[in-house]
Every structure is written in C-alpha cells, then in structure tokens.
A and B are shown apart, each in its own frame.
Chain A
C-alpha cells in the first residue's frame, strides 16, 4: 500500500506564474488535508477536503489559492500569481475517516518563488 504521494517534490516558479501541487492519498482514504510549513515555523492548516467537497477552508488565503479533490484523480492545490511569500513546503495528509484516526503525510512539495 503506497503512502501519500505528492508531486512534484520541488517546484520553482517565477513571480506571477501559477503553481499546481498534486496529492494522491493512500488507497482507501477519502479525507485529504493540506498544510503549509514556512521555514522555522510549524504546520499551518489550509484546507480539508473529501471527495468532490471542501469541508473546511478556514486556513486558506481568500485570494489566489484554491483546492479541489475530484471524484477521480489526485487532490490539487493551486496557487495563482505566486509571490515570494508563497515560498514554503506544502504537505498533504490523508486519513480514512474523521475522529480517532491518525493522518498520514506525504513528503511535501517545496515551492520556491523567484
């Protein structure tokens, strides 16, 4: 059973470009979470999705950021018109359900905006 797969591992974008980060959850997991980690900081929650639904996007910036988890295919975190402050590590996690189960994390995508 493959773990949570994120790609690309490293992504370099120029200011103003779009960044697309992909996350394939573990098999059988229908809950996906995205987190952002800035250097020397902890993990900040961004968005929680189930298949075809956004459950909680309270941590998502109101502009330029969007996320989806379609019925088929990976979850996508999309950042439009990137700025230098978007440079960070973005982690995806998945779990089979809510409640008392742990979430499993991918290796992350390190976004660098130049």
Chain B
C-alpha cells in the first residue's frame, strides 16, 4: 500500500536561512508526488508536484523539491526562508497504479520561521 512519511512534526528556521521539510514515500508503481501548504483555518494550497523528468521541481513562492528515487524521498526546500512561510506543510503521493486516484497525505510538518 502507498504511504507517505514526514519524520519531523516541527521545523524551526531563522528568517533568511535555508529550509528543508522532509518527506519519504512508498508506492508500488510510479509515484506522483505533491506538496501542499495550509495556513491557519484555511484549506490546502498546492505548491508543486513531481510527475516525471527533472528531479528538481520548482513551485510557488520560491519553493522547490528534490525527487530522489533511490532514497524514495521528496524533500521540500527553499534557499531563504520568510516569516510568512510559517505554516503547516503536507507531502502527498498518488500511485500511478492506484486506480482509486486518491492522494495519500503525510501527517504534516509545522514550519516556524522566526525573525
């Protein structure tokens, strides 16, 4: 069965420093991988996705993610964090072979960026 793990409940970063939010996945077929961000009392906003091709994917708000097939990881990164990046981040996977098509989410990582 497909699954996603976000090993860190919380990540703390100083403004201006690089940030990484970790995600590992497990699927039976080819993975479609996604990152979403959730601000308080809001729905999820799509950030970026990996389908195929270049392992480094660029997305919204300066975020990028690196797909690593051998490590089954899809870590979210940003070169210089902003206080406004503070939010809850979710990694998700959709298994190409999963006819159900649903997104499976990790448990989320709370990112806190301090001035």
Contacts and interface: CB of A to CB of B under 8 A. Distances in A.
Interface residues of A, number: 27
Contacts of A110: 41
Interface string B14-50: 0000000000000000001010100001111110010
Given A105-B43, A105-B44, A106-B43, A55 B105 contact: no
A42 B3 CA distance: 13
* Residue of A43, A93, A99 with most partner-chain B CB within 10 A: A43
A42 B32 contact: no
Contact of B46 (A58, A100, A104): A104
Nearest to A100: B51
Contacts of B44: 43, 91, 93, 105
B102 A105 contact: no
Contacts of B103: 33, 45, 93, 103
Contacts of A99: 32, 94, 96, 101
Nearest to B108: A42
Given A41-B107, A100-B49, A107-B43, 16 more contacts: A33-B102, A41-B108, A42-B108, A43-B44, A45-B103, A45-B105, A48-B100, A56-B101, A56-B102, A58-B100, A100-B32, A100-B52, A100-B94, A102-B34, A102-B46, A105-B36
Interface of B: 32, 34, 36, 41-46, 49, 51-52, 90, 94, 96, 99-108
